[in-house]
Amino acid sequence: MSKAKEVLRLYKSLNRTVQSVFRGDQVAQAAAYDKLRQEFGKNLNVENESKVTELIQYGRDCENILKQQVLQFEEIEEKRYRVNIREDMELEDALPFRDDITKEQYRERNRASRKKCSEATKMADKDS
Cβ neighbourhood burial of 66 (10 Å; 0-12, 13-18, 19+): middle
Residue 83 confidence (pLDDT): 84
Domain locations along the chain = 3-84
Q: 120: which DSSP letter?
A: H
pTM for this structure? 0.66
Residue 121 confidence (pLDDT): 65
| C-alpha–C-alpha distance, residues 102 and 113, integer Å | 17
* pLDDT tens, residue order, the chain (128 aa): 688 899 999 999 999 999 999 988 899 999 999 999 999 999 989 989 999 999 999 999 999 999 888 888 888 888 888 888 888 787 766 666 667 788 888 888 888 877 766 666 666 666 55
Residue 108 confidence (pLDDT): 87
Residue 96, SS3 per DSSP: coil
Residue 110 confidence (pLDDT): 80
